[in-house]
Homo-oligomer: A and B are copies of this chain.
Amino acid sequence: MASPNAAPRAAATARERVRAELSREIKEEARRQLAASGADGLSLRAVAREVGMVSSALYRYYPSRDDLLTALIIDAYNALGAAAEGAVAAGKAGPARDRWAAACHAIRDWALANPHEYALIYGSPVPGYRAPEATIGPAARVPLAFVGVLRDALDGGEVGGTGAAAGALLPVTGPLAEQADALSAALAQSVPGPGEAAVPPDVLVRAVIAWTQLFGMISFELFGQFVGSFEPADALFGHAARQLAAFVGLH
């Protein structure tokens, strides 16, 4: 803001404010079209039409269709990440297992409310589109929210240790153990976060399994693989969320 080579004036000029406003408005309309008809239904010309501009004018705001799509992808990751983080934070007082399940529910709720945005980030890749690096950070928020739950639980002694329950758990060995160790180390140093305990590899691997299960189940629900069996999937989802939190070893 007040840095030497920032905007010419400390406050945003009128032009800049209008520009930011219109950028937002264009993105909003694009999101509306995405929600209505999916990523393929997103057309620059249609967005321009709706915003009341000529199509070429959009190029003053987004250099190409892909850039607009990238903005939507980043927003979607951030919205979903925020939902997960919010659920975790809201459950601060309760047991770790509940926080984990709450994050799962928040993610599902968001996905059901925003199916096309979900499909955009977790469905088949958009053909011809290559996700830029800027999406990596926002995409990591959901997994990091789960890691946050794990760390808090580790700090509070809320992981594993029931003994009997561990009977059906397979040991993590070989190359998988190496990958998990490396990830655990990377998390410990790059994300100082609240908890200080490093996540043990076997817990991390079980968490990854739970994480993939979550998104597999949501995708199946959204993409129609449950028709005629577990539809509506609310009961299945609630059970699975709790079951997998238990599987991870959370109390």
B224 adjacent to A216 (CB under 8 Å): no
State the main secondary structure of chain A at its contact with B.
helix
Per the CB 8 Å criterion, the residue count for chain A at the interface is: 54
Which residues of the other chain, B, contact A123 by a CB distance below 8 angstroms? 123-124, 223
Say yes or no: B219 contacts A215, CB within 8 Å.
yes
Complex Cα gap A179–B251 (Å): 27
Given A40-B40, A223-B122, the answer on whether A235 and B174 have CB atoms closer than 8 Å is yes
Q: A212 touching B217 by the CB < 8 A rule?
A: yes
Identical copies of this chain, number: 2
CB–CB B170/A243 < 8 A: yes
Contact A224 B183 (CB under 8 A): no
Cβ of A95 within 8 Å of any chain B Cβ, yes or no, is: no
Beyond A124-B123, A183-B229, A205-B236, whether A170 also contacts B242 by CB under 8 A is yes
- Residues of the B chain whose Cβ atoms lie less than 8 Å from the Cβ of A243: 169-170, 206, 209
Q: Give CA–CA (A224, B130) in the complex, Å.
A: 11
Which residue of B is nearest A210, CB measured? Answer: B213
**Segment with Cβ contacts to B, from A22-30, A56-64, A160-168:** A160-168
**Distance of A5 Cα from B214 Cα, bound (Å):** 52
CA distance A162 to B168 in the complex (A): 9
Least Cβ–Cβ distance between A207 and chain B, in angstroms: 12
User: Does A41 touch B at the CB level, under 8 Å?
Assistant: yes
Complex formed: what's the CA distance from A206 to B213 in Å?
Answer: 12
A190 to B140, CA, bound (A): 44
Pairs A–B under 8 Å by Cβ, sample size 12 = A122-B219, A124-B124, A166-B167, A175-B235, A176-B238, A179-B236, A183-B229, A183-B230, A208-B230, A209-B243, A212-B217, A216-B217
Of all A-B residue pairs in the complex, the 4 with the closest CB atoms, nearest first, are A216-B216, A123-B124, A176-B235, A165-B168
